[in-house]
Structure 1
């Protein structure tokens, strides 16, 4: 969904079809939501020991991984949507907004929350007495970070994307790229003649 969505949005922007770009963005996010929700449902409704048992025969590891699957099902949904939103932002040429969003989502929210839930909340020890103890606390922090990431990307796409402006910028980038290629080819031809 994300690669196809990015390609469709960028092609529509380059051709000046702003309605097509908007529709392609909506279809991309909708497909990502549906597919990631399907994957999340598979993780929820399949017996939780099924997938971990493919990777290890150790019952302790299978048990711990089985505890994580409901949380990972939520993670899969948020991650699928944020990847699609990420692709739309790239199609608009706004890669510069990604790093601050990632820093806030994961390094300001996700990792500290996971660390707090796992260690500080229990006096520095990984506990075993509640659902959000141990590895589950770390996964909870990163899942929360992923949803913050998704929300911030959605805000950028919904609130700050003017398809008319993005189309104009895409055409300017295309014209600059074409001019650069022509100049580079002329320079190469001059170099070849001097040899």
Structure 2
């Protein structure tokens, strides 16, 4: 259980570190650099460059939640992930993006922080951070590593019992299921041979 706890912490730390590195690259590189790689249109480049701060925020939250998501799935608690996704994105992120983009600003582009497509990206980023925070609370506050280690061992034992032997069988080699049939065939052949011998002995005596 101690090893599982350490491995979980290491995975989250690595995900956080990589996400922060990518976020810093996005923030400290001129914001028009990456959009210019995908479009020659100056208007598109300028509008896309305004999304970089939101994307830098999104990258950090998404990287951390990916590590936490792996921990929750490894514990066999996939049924908890779906409600968290519904709350984070469909109840918070998507409505927030829709409100900022289409209700508050009527879908037009302007100079405000959350105007136009930036409102959609803002909603997605907020939803991702809510997703990350809920998963973090789940992992930190309701995960008993001793119990999870025992459950993992039980699942592994059940899986091993349910799987057939990994020994390679050649085309003319009987498997375990064929041993009973093979022994029965041998017994029948032996009985037939003994019966034939008795009949021949009787004929010879006559």
Q: Same fold (TM over 0.5)?
A: yes
Cα–Cα, structure 1 residues 179 and 62, in superposed 2: closer, same or farther, change >3 Å? same
Cα–Cα, structure 1 residues 105 and 191, in superposed 2: closer, same or farther, change >3 Å? farther
Of the candidates 177, 181, 191, which is equivalent to residue 190 of structure 1? 177
CA drift at 1:189: 4.4
CA drift at 1:127: 4.0
Return the structure number with greater helix share.
Answer: 1
Distance 1:111 1:192 in 2: 61
Distance 1:191 1:112 in 2: 62
Bigger radius of gyration among the two: 2
Of the candidates 34, 42, 58, which is equivalent to residue 59 of structure 1? 42
Counterpart of 1:7 in structure 2 is: none
Distance 2:180 2:41 in 1: 70
Question: Given the alignment of the two structures, is residue 138 of structure 1 paired with residue 125 of structure 2, yes or no?
Answer: no
1 or 2 for the larger relative contact order (CA 8 Å, sep ≥6)? 1
**Where do 1:22-171 residues align within 5 Å?**
22-122=5-105, 124-171=106-153
Distance 2:53 2:179 in 1: 63
SS of corresponding position for 1:51: helix
Distance 1:50 1:193 in 2: 72
The C-alpha deviation readout for 1:86-134, integer Å capped at 9, x for no partner, is: 0111111111111111111100100000000111113x33241412100
Count of residues in correspondence between the two structures: 175
Cα–Cα, structure 1 residues 50 and 191, in superposed 2: closer, same or farther, change >3 Å? farther
CA RMSD of aligned residues (A): 2.1
SS of corresponding position for 2:67: helix
Task: Return structure 1 stretches of 4+ with deviation > 3 angstroms.
Answer: 191-194
TM-score normalized by the length of structure 2: 0.79
The C-alpha deviation readout for 1:36-66, integer Å capped at 9, x for no partner, is: 0110010000000001111110111111110
SS of corresponding position for 1:143: helix
Q: Is the 8 A contact 2:100 2:115 kept in 1?
A: yes
SS of corresponding position for 1:132: coil
Structure 1: give runs of 5+ residues left out of the alignment. Answer: 1-17
